[in-house]
């Protein structure tokens, strides 16, 4: 009974910002995350085992998905400004449900490339739509805390989906066809939730003279560039840390799944707390700066761990994981605050779409870059990653202040 009270108290405290119109957003995010965990945790296995595609071809296809997402992120954000984020997100959810139903038909490279390009464009393009919807429905004082709570919800759902994927892969055979179809069902259910969201009022259509103004806003592009450096900590966790563990003598491979379990639990428990103070721009910049500093420290710790080559490396691995997770928590919190603060009211979707490019670049190019540095240049390649993250920590403040001054002058 005591444990029940503790859990109930945590839920009330952690998700208190998800009230009113934000409550359906939590349900929407949970459905989306379960479907994502179901398919993303098993995508490589599905493409190679079920679709019979070569591993190298799968890598090219996933890069293609990132490229189409790079294009669609800004375009979908601009469409949200013109037609409404709710309307565009509904179309996107329904389209994704339909496209994921095409995966069982993939049996050749051409069909694979077409389907994965469509998925990449729609999924990456949906990100700015969701962020814009948060701005539309959540009061300004609760936006960053609410977005942090939604990220906590996402990790809960993603973990559940990944566990279900493990069960279906273990069964094998026809059960593995449920991997993409389960994600299609999650998008269909998410579309039903979007229908229940309140319709937001549209402002005047964006002026033609301001078309793609976010991509011509040099101070804002500088913020995106620096934020991309800080977003590397996510790739370091997903790609770099497992490769580092495999390269160190005396550290068992069974530690790798524990890395992701520990990270997920910490994000669920601490993301809202890490976001405190980031609802103002100075606080968001401070969180982003702390993210770069602790992530750089994690990389330097892994340099030390790579030189030990013994059981003490396990303790160093745990320390590095804790540091990189802290960096991830602060990076997300800082990005929420910076993105919302710098997006002008007349082009919020377009600016949030452009800011979302930091994640598209990180997901598309980050794995290859981090894998190369972590393997070919190890152990001292980690010092290069530390320098990049440290540069992000030092530059984020000046970049944001310049963008803020430029925006104030424009107003």
Per-residue pLDDT of the chain (411 residues; tens, 9 = 90+): 567 787 778 888 888 888 887 889 999 999 999 999 898 877 878 888 888 888 778 888 888 888 899 889 999 999 999 899 999 999 999 999 999 999 999 888 899 999 999 999 999 999 999 999 999 888 888 899 999 999 999 999 999 998 898 888 888 888 888 889 999 999 999 999 999 888 765 555 555 545 678 888 999 999 999 999 999 999 998 888 888 887 777 677 777 778 888 889 999 999 999 999 999 999 999 999 999 999 999 999 888 766 665 567 778 878 888 999 999 999 999 999 999 999 998 889 999 999 999 999 988 888 888 888 888 887 788 899 999 999 999 999 999 999 999 877 765
Q: Distances in Å between the alpha carbon of 126 and those of 49, 202, 251?
A: 29, 18, 39
Domains 17-196 and 213-410 share a fold: yes
Q: Which of 241, 250, 229 is closest to 298 using CA atoms?
A: 241
User: Can you count the helices (H) and strands (E) in the chain?
Assistant: 18, 0
The helix or strand, by DSSP H or E, that contains position 63, with its residue range, turns out to be helix 55-83
Rg value, the chain, Cα: 21
How many CA atoms, within 13 angstroms, populate the side-chain half-sphere of residue 343? 28
Domain boundaries, the chain: 17-196, 213-410
CA angle 259, 333, 219 (to 5 degrees): 120
CATH of 213-410, one of 1.20.1250, 2.30.30, 1.10.3470, 1.20.5: 1.20.1250
Superfamily of domain 17-196: MFS general substrate transporter like domains (1.20.1250.20)
Q: CB–CB of 25/149 below 8 Å?
A: no
Q: How far is CA 304 from CA 320, 378, 384, 391, in A?
A: 10, 11, 14, 21
**Rounded distance, CA 181 to CA 178, Å?**
5
Q: 58: which residues sit within 8 A by CB, 6+ positions away?
A: 44, 47, 48
Q: Which residues, including other chains, have CB under 8 Å from residue 181's CB and lie 6 or more apart?
A: 100, 101, 103, 104
CB atoms within 10 A of CB 3: 7
| Environment class of 8 (CB within 10 Å of its CB; exposed 0-12, middle 13-18, buried 19+) | exposed
- Residue 372, number of CB atoms within 10 A of its CB: 11
Secondary structure element (H or E) that encloses residue 328, with its range = helix 312-342
């Amino acid at each position: 009974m005591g444990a029940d009270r503790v859990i109930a108290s945590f839920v009330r405290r952690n998700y208190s910002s998800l009230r009113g119109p934000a409550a359906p957003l939590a349900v929407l995010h949970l459905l989306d995350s379960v479907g994502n965990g179901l398919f993303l945790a098993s995508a490589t296995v599905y493409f190679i085992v079920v679709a019979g595609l070569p591993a190298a071809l799968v890598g090219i296809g996933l890069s293609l998905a990132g490229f189409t997402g790079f294009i669609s992120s800004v375009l979908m954000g601009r469409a949200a400004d013109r037609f409404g984020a709710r309307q565009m997100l509904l179309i996107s959810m329904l389209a994704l449900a339909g496209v994921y139903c095409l995966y069982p038909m993939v049996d050749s490279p051409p069909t694979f490339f077409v389907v994965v390009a469509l998925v990449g464009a729609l999924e990456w393009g949906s990100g700015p739509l969701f962020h814009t919807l948060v701005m539309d429905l959540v009061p300004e004082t609760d936006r960053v805390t609410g977005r942090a709570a939604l990220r906590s919800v996402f990790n809960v759902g993603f973990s559940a989906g990944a566990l279900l994927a493990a069960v279906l892969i273990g069964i094998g055979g026809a059960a593995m066809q449920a991997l993409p179809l389960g994600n299609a069902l999650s998008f269909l259910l998410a579309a039903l939730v979007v229908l229940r969201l309140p319709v937001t009022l549209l402002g005047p259509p964006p002026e033609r003279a301001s078309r793609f103004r976010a991509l011509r806003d040099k101070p804002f592009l500088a913020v995106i560039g620096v934020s991309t450096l800080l977003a590397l900590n996510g790739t370091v966790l997903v790609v770099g840390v497992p490769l580092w563990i495999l390269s160190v003598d005396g550290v068992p491979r069974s530690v790798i799944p524990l890395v992701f379990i520990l990270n997920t639990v910490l994000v669920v428990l601490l993301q809202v707390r890490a976001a405190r103070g980031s609802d103002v721009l100075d606080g968001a910049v401070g969180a982003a700066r702390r993210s770069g500093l602790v992530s750089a420290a994690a990389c330097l710790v892994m340099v030390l761990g790579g030189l030990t080559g013994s059981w003490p490396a396990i303790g160093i691995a745990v320390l590095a994981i804790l540091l990189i997770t802290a960096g991830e928590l602060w990076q997300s919190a800082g990005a929420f605050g910076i993105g919302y603060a710098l997006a002008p009211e007349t082009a919020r979707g377009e600016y949030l779409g452009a800011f979302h490019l930091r994640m598209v670049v990180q997901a598309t190019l980050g794995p290859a870059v981090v894998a190369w540095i972590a393997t070919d240049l190890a152990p001292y390649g980690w010092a290069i990653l530390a320098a990049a993250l440290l540069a992000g920590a030092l530059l984020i403040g000046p970049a944001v202040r310049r963008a803020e001054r430029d925006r104030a002058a424009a107003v």
